[in-house]
Amino acid sequence: MLIETGSTASFVTEAFVQLVGVERKHAHVPIVGLSSKSVGNTRGRVVLTLLSANNENNVEVEALILLKLTSILPPPSIHLCEQTRKQINQLSLADPTFGIPGPIDMILGSDQLWKILTGEKIQLNNQTLTALNSSFGWVITGSCLSEAVCPSQVSINHALEDVDYLVRSLLEMNSLQSSKSKITDHDPVEKYFSSTVQRAENGTYVVKYPFKADIKPIDDTLPQAISRLNSMDAKLQRQPALKQQYTAFLNEYLELGHI
Architecture of the domain made up of 2-142: Beta Barrel (2.40)
- Asked if omega into 74 is within 30° of 0 (cis), the reply is yes
Q: Can you say whether the dihedral through the CA atoms of 181, 182, 184, 190 is positive or negative?
A: positive
- Going by C-alpha positions, the residue among 104, 53, 105, 48 that lies closest to residue 75 is 104
pLDDT at 76: 76
In whole angstroms, what is the distance from residue 55 CA to residue 136 CA? 7
pLDDT at 176: 60
- Going by C-alpha positions, the residue among 174, 175, 194, 197 that lies closest to residue 183 is 194
Spell out the per-residue pLDDT of the chain, length 259, in tens: 888 878 888 999 999 999 988 888 888 888 877 767 777 788 899 999 988 888 888 889 999 999 888 888 887 777 777 888 888 888 888 888 888 888 889 998 887 887 888 888 888 876 678 888 888 888 888 765 433 333 333 333 444 445 555 666 666 665 666 666 676 767 888 888 888 999 988 888 999 888 877 777 778 889 999 999 999 999 999 999 999 999 999 999 998 888 8
E strand or H helix that includes residue 141 = strand 137-142
Say what the alpha-carbon torsion angle 142, 144, 149, 152 is, to the nearest 10 degrees.
Answer: -50
- pTM greater than 0.75: no
Backbone dihedral angles phi then psi of residue 227, each to the nearest 5 degrees? -60, -45
Cα separation values, 73 from 19, 49, 78, 105, Å: 20, 23, 10, 11
